[in-house]
Chains A and B, each alone.
With several copies, the nearest count.
Chain A
Amino acid sequence: MPLDVTGLGLDALAARVRAWLEDHLPAHWRDAALTGDRHALAAIARDDAVTRAWYAELGDSGLATAGWPVEHGGLGLAADGVAVVADELARLHAGRPMSDFVGVALAGPTIVEWGTDEQKRRFLRPLALGEHRWCQLFSEPGAGSDLAALTTRATRCADGDWVVDGQKVWSSFSDRADYGLLMARTDPGRAKHRGITYFLLDMRSPGVEVRPLRQLNGQSEFGEVFLTDVMVPDTDRLGRENQGWAVAMTTLAQERSGLSGRPGVGPGRADALAARARDTGAWDDPLLRDRILRAFVAERVLQMTTVRAFADLGRREPGAEGSIRKLAHGTLDATLGLLATEVEPGGAVAHDPADGDAEAALDAFLSGKILSIAGGTSEIQRNIIGERVLGLPRDRDPYADVPFAERPRG
């Protein structure tokens, strides 16, 4: 039963959400969040029964998908309202986990915009209730930044359904996903952007194999997905045949905007870094202290920019401006990662294996570079800013209009 938030200003909306959470969130969850008890929160996150019940209740209220239209189980809020809801949920650690980002932030809006009535019925409600997990199947080993150069093939069968073959990569949480947002080439006789179709792939289909990809920090958030003679019914096509690139644009705009966080100006990673530096004595070094303060300034400025972006957006959709925040975020993440090690004794490079602070610092350092590559490299973001925000001339692929099959291979 969706919460009624019609006509509320942002402050009133915040109050309404807070009151609802007060009434509905299990008390032990609320207490763990408010006391900042990390162990209790981790235990809750691992307790499937509790989380499943909560995400169902949250989804039913419309708060998990506050930006979706009311008729699809959302609250019909603009970006600023969505941000307010996200803030309230974050305060109690009550929102959907990061692994649901692809589903809630990307798959949902894309299906809302492009889906058939039947697709909306099939996918949106389970997504809102936390019943389906999604992953994104866009990138390929041979088509990194140049997404549209993808070679995964979808061939139409006599009955109108499709057989898909190819390989995808950089697919977050693909090992746990129920469905995947898939782009595949359906007409190599057309130019590269014009022969792609977008599908909603059932990850349980025979022929889908997921292999985790180990990152430089030793963790495996991404997967490689191998597709071998995978049958996809035509009813799982999203948008029209060979017009998948337009559908993907919706997904990508959401992704750029969504990766850069919730609005709000307040203590962040740099504050924590300063606290740690005071503990280890690193704060006494004026050069290091100044670098931490530079990061502090950069983090607050990015927060202020995010606040403004949400305010500016109002009812508009996220656009190329998201690239500005993504670029700044990537730089900041790398800086904070390096600083994290520098405040540890000996730079954390040789430490007691049980020293959790040192381990976390090294992970922050090694992960720091990932954000400026995943979700579009910094070079690609600069192209987007230059071309779509500033209106500079595009540097076109010389084979952009050549049939895909006739392009030279690199």
Chain B
Amino acid sequence: MSADPFRWTPEHEEFRAVLRKLTESRTPLACAPAPASADQRERELWRAWADELGLPGLVVPESHGGAGFSRLELAIAAEELGRAVAGGPLFASAVLATEALLATGPDAAAAEILPALAGGTSVAALAVVEESHRWAAADVRTRVGDGRLTGVKHAVLGAADADVLVVAAREDAGVSLFLVEPGTGVEIVPLAVLDPSRPAARVDLTGAPARRIGVAGEGWPAVERALEAGAVFLAAEQVGGSRALLDAAVEHANTRVQFGRPVGQFQGVKHRLADMAVRTELAAAAATWAAWQEPGTDTARLGAAVARAHCADAYLETALDAIGVHGGMAITWEHHAHRYLRRARADLAVLPGPAEQRRLLETMIGTGV
């Protein structure tokens, strides 16, 4: 490892400032819409992100119509979106599906659709998990026959809005990835979700026409690459969420008066906020370090697993702590706290969670990485 430590550049800071301004002006925390009514706003925000900032193509090489940035810029975007619990297809399409496509080479079929994804005019979804709800190659049972897929994909993020699905399916050579367009042989069944800002659906494939991308039987490494990027993205997003919660809780503690003084003067509240700050600062360091590693390397795998293991638990604890600090108001529907709580809990399950990451780390601990 180089002795030169990572530092954010002035360009990074500027990117962050622009993003925050855009995101906060559209979904200010104070008057955040109830999740269910957020659809229209989110569509507008997505257009703004795409047209003004090129977020959907952030990590797509310029040769494929993207901006060719690194995961550091992606982490900045994630953090700012996480602050506002912003919805939209960025995570499902621009991170999970796009990273999987890029990891195939990208091969010709992937390269064909990447410019539209990078431009935000088309969105994709990655369909991997099945009945077991586990991200494991062995659990992929969707079969290919005559260029058609048959199987059931569970909890597919962003499936209902997707123009194209990237589907993991099993053939004789092993697990491969396929492109499937909604239509014949594809039924998309919306699911009830804890976190309404991240809609998910079941995808029933009954002989859906499909095009293979990448080499037959070599699809799983691409899924793993998407999971690595997804872990970094989620970690950064959770840092943003934690920071927003901490800021709002500090603001409350400084202004709410009980027993003749601001509640932040009581150590019961002050120390809880300090613990939130500790957790969040550690999370920020871990997310940044993970984003700073070269994708696909040992340290990237380690960083992604460590960051995801820490940040996901830290976010849930911080969301619960924030409710404790705000007290009664935070258990109402109108207060922002439960949107973060829902997101934090849902995040544990949308990709392999902290327990799975620690299991992954069993193979890395003590190996010198």
Chain A residues packing against B (C-beta within 8 Å): 9-11, 13-14, 80, 84, 87, 139, 141, 143-146, 149, 169-170, 213-216, 218, 263-267, 270-272, 274-275, 278, 285, 287, 289-290, 292-294, 296-298, 300-302, 304-305, 307-312, 314, 321, 324, 327-328, 334, 338, 341, 345-353, 355, 358-359, 362, 365-366, 369-370, 372-374, 377-379, 381-383, 385-387, 389-395, 397-400, 407-410
Contact B253 A392 (CB under 8 A): yes
Whether A301 pairs with B277 at a CB distance below 8 angstroms is no
Instruction: Pick 18 A–B contacts, CB within 8 A, sort by A.
Output: A293-B365, A304-B282, A304-B288, A304-B306, A311-B6, A314-B7, A348-B194, A349-B349, A355-B192, A374-B328, A386-B271, A386-B274, A392-B265, A392-B270, A393-B254, A397-B259, A408-B260, A409-B257
Binds A, one of B141-149, B164-172, B319-327: B319-327
Distance to closest chain B CB from A77 (angstroms): 12
Residue B136 lies at the interface, judged by CB distance under 8 Å to chain A:
no
Q: A300, B274: Cβ atoms under 8 Å?
A: no
Cα distance, A386 to B368, chains bound together (Å): 37
Residues on A with C-beta less than 8 A from B25 are none
Which residues from chain B contact A379 at a C-beta distance below 8 Å? 266-269, 271, 324
Contact, CB under 8 Å: B365 / A274:
yes
Q: Which residue of the partner chain, among A292, A328, A334, A349, contacts B193 with CB atoms under 8 Å? A: A349
The residue that A10 contacts in the complex, of B3, B268, B333, with Cβ under 8 A, is B3
Which residues of chain A are near B13, meaning CB under 8 Å? none
Instruction: Find out whether the CB atom of B258 lies under 8 angstroms from the CB atom of A144.
Output: yes
Taking the complex as formed, is B191 at the interface, i.e. its CB lies under 8 A from any CB of chain A?
yes
Q: State whether the Cβ of B331 lies closer than 8 Å to any Cβ in chain A.
A: yes
Asked if B5 and A10 make an inter-chain contact with CB atoms under 8 angstroms apart, the answer reads: yes
Contact of B333 among A9, A80, A214, A263 (CB under 8 A): A214
What mask results when residues 356 to 369 of chain B are scored 1 for a CB within 8 Å of chain A, else 0?
Answer: 01110110011011
For A378, the chain B residues whose CB sits under 8 A away are: 324
A314 CA / B4 CA spacing, docked (Å)? 11
In the assembled complex, B332 has its CB within 8 A of some CB on chain A = yes
Selected contact of B270 from candidates A216, A292, A341, A386, CB within 8 Å: A386
Q: Which residues of A contact B259 (CB under 8 A)?
A: 145-146, 149, 395, 397
* Partner-A contacts on B (CB < 8 A): 1-7, 129, 131-133, 154-155, 191-195, 200, 202, 246, 250, 253-262, 264-271, 273-275, 277-278, 281-286, 288-289, 299, 302-303, 306-307, 309-310, 320, 323-324, 327-335, 337-338, 341-342, 345-346, 348-350, 355, 357-359, 361-362, 365-366, 368-369
Return the contact of A301 from the options B6, B285, B358 (Cβ within 8 A). B285
- Binding site secondary structure of chain B: helix
* Nearest A residue (CB) for B201: A350
Query: Which residues from B are CB-within-8-Å of A287?
Result: 355
The closest CB in chain A to the CB of B283 belongs to A301
Given that A10-B5, A348-B194, A385-B274 are contacting pairs, would A307 and B257 also be in contact in the complex, using a CB cutoff of 8 Å? no
Q: Are A274 and B271 within 8 A (Cβ)?
A: no
CB distance from A48 to the nearest CB of B (A): 29
Closest Cβ of chain A: how far from B35's Cβ, in Å?
A: 11
State the CA gap A297–B358 with chains docked (Å): 8
The residue from B333, B345, B365 contacting A296, defined by CB atoms under 8 A apart: B365
Q: Is the CB of A9 within 8 A of B361?
A: no
Residues of B within 8 A of A395 (CB): 259, 265-267, 270
The residue from B191, B195, B254, B281 contacting A391, defined by CB atoms under 8 A apart: B254
Closest-by-CB residue of B relative to A379 is B268
B366: chain A residues at CB < 8 Å are 267, 271-272, 274-275, 278
A296, B299: Cα distance in complex, Å? 15
Within the complex, what minimum Cβ distance (angstroms) separates B111 from chain A? Answer: 31
Q: A350-B193, A378-B324, A393-B254 are in contact. Are A307 and B285 (CB under 8 A)?
A: yes
Rounded to whole angstroms, the CA-CA distance of A214 and B34 in the bound complex is 12
Question: A310 vs B6: C-alpha distance in the bound complex, in angstroms?
Answer: 10
State A302–B329 Cα separation when bound (angstroms): 28
CB <8 Å contact, B261 and A369: no
Number of A-B contacts (CB under 8 A): 277
B contact residues around A334 at 8 Å (CB)? 320
Q: Which residues of A contact B286 (CB under 8 A)?
A: 300-301, 304-305
Known: A348-B194, A350-B191, A366-B341. A9 touches B4 (CB 8 A): yes
* B residues less than 8 Å from A274 (CB atoms): 365-366
Which of A263, A275, A294, A346 has the most CB atoms of chain B within a 10 A radius of its CB? A346
Whether B270 lies near A383 (C-beta < 8 A) is yes
Which B-chain residue is minimally distant from A216 (CB atoms)? Answer: B338
Chain B residues lying within 8 Å of A141, measured Cβ to Cβ, are 329
Chain B residues whose CB sits within 8 angstroms of the CB of A392 once the complex forms = 250, 253-254, 262, 264-265, 269-270, 273
CB-CB under 8 A from B133, the residues of chain A are 345-347
Instruction: Please determine whether A304 and B289 come into contact, CB atoms closer than 8 angstroms.
Output: yes
CA distance A271 to B302 in the complex (A): 13
Q: Which residue of A lies closest to B289 (CB)?
A: A304
State which of A297, A312, A349 has its C-beta within 8 Å of the C-beta of B309.
A297
Instruction: Say how far B251's CB is from chain A's closest CB, in angstroms.
Output: 10
Given A349-B350, A350-B193, A390-B277, decide whether A214 and B282 contact each other with a Cβ distance below 8 A: no
Q: Assess the A385–B278 pair: CB atoms within 8 A.
A: yes
Chain B residue contacts of A265, Cβ below 8 A? 1, 289, 299
Q: Which residues of B contact A351 (CB under 8 A)?
A: 191-193
Q: Is the CB of B345 within 8 A of A294?
A: no
Contacts of B246 in A (CB 8 A): 390
Report if A346-B155 is in contact (Cβ < 8 Å); known contacts: A377-B327, A410-B257: yes
Contacts of B349 in A (CB 8 A): 346-347, 349-350
Instruction: With a 10 A CB-CB cut-off, give which of A301, A312, A348, A351 has the most chain B CB atoms.
Output: A301
Contact A398 B309 (CB under 8 A): no
Bound-complex Cα distance A408 to B261 (A): 9
Given A297-B361, A307-B5, verify A353-B191 contact (CB < 8 Å). Answer: yes
Contact A382/B5 with A216-B331, A301-B286 known, Cβ cut-off 8 Å: no
User: 5 extra interchain contacts, Cβ-Cβ under 8 A, other than A10-B2, A215-B333, A392-B270?
Assistant: A386-B271, A386-B274, A389-B277, A390-B277, A410-B262
Question: Cα distance A81–B367 when bound, in Å?
Answer: 28
Q: How far is the CB of A253 from chain B (nearest CB, A)?
A: 17
How many angstroms from the CA of A385 to the CA of B349 in the assembled complex?
32
CB contact between B273 and one of A300, A338, A365, A390 (< 8 Å): that residue: A390
Q: Is the beta-carbon distance between B3 and A14 smaller than 8 angstroms?
A: yes
Contact assessment for A301 and B306 in the assembled complex, using a CB-CB cutoff below 8 Å: yes
B309 CB contacts on chain A under 8 angstroms: 294, 297
The docked-state distance in angstroms from the alpha carbon of A181 to that of B281 is: 32
